[in-house]
Amino acid sequence: MQKAMALIKNKPKEYFVVAPGIDLYKFDIKEGMREEGVVTFGCIKALEEVSGIDVLLDAYKEMKGQTEAKTKLIIIGEGSKENELRHQAAKLGIESEVEFKGYVPNDKLPDEINRMNALVNPSRYEMLGVPTLEGMACGVPTIATDTDGSSEIILNGVTGYTVKNGNLSALVYRLKEFAEYPQNAAKMGTKTRGDIEDYFEINACTDKYIKALEFASKK
């Protein structure tokens, strides 16, 4: 985030950087949505190779072998790898704790996110993770690989965690931390919405986009 803001400040005036806006009236914090006694991890990604969900399943299985905490994993999204990922979950013996919800309409996502203690974004490559922004708006931190997008959005150790892309043990470590100490995730969640309000509020982003279009039309 800080790097992006610094780059914006140093650009000539004819450049405009407009982030995707988040509807803060829709994506908001809702109390009392989480299942008591269960730490719920969520992943909102297309079920494709680039999303790295196969790595998340491996990490979740390994984490379960290191803790007695009661957890579950919700995967939201569709894609060509769905059957393969379901088979992987069954082979790993975690199918009873992994729920593939498929496509969820945008207007239903805020409720789904508010049921989660933390989001996980295991992408192998990504410029910007919109579900991470939506999660932050709902007061939910994200554990993410250190892709360009996540490294700009997440303040590591404050509003979530970034782990080295491809480092399975690092992902396992952070999953285990939140599983055993969900209060750490909750504490981070109290700090996430402020960044969204400052940089990604939809009306402010729309105004910037309009100004950029108006400027371009005058050239």
- How much is the pLDDT for 82? 98
Q: Report the percentage of the chain scoring pLDDT > 90.
A: 71
- How much is the pLDDT for 124? 95
Higher pLDDT, 202 or 83: 83
**Cβ atoms 28, 137 nearer than 8 A:** yes
**Cβ atoms 34, 71 nearer than 8 A:** no
Where are the alpha helices (H) located in the chain, listed in sequence order? 2-10, 53-64, 82-92, 109-114, 130-137, 148-153, 168-180, 182-199, 202-218
pLDDT at 8 over 50: no
- How much is the pLDDT for 89? 98
Q: How confident is the model at residue 136 (pLDDT cuts 50, 70, 90)?
A: very high
Of the candidate ranges 21-25, 46-50, 57-61, 211-215, the one whose mean pLDDT is the lowest: 211-215
- How much is the pLDDT for 3? 54
- How much is the pLDDT for 209? 65
Burial 158-183 (b: 16+ CB within 10 A, else e): ebbbbbebeeeebbbbbbbbbbbebe
Q: Which token pair is 90?
A: 């069954």
How far is Cα 36 from Cα 20, in angstroms, rounded to an integer? 34
The rounded mean pLDDT for the chain is 89
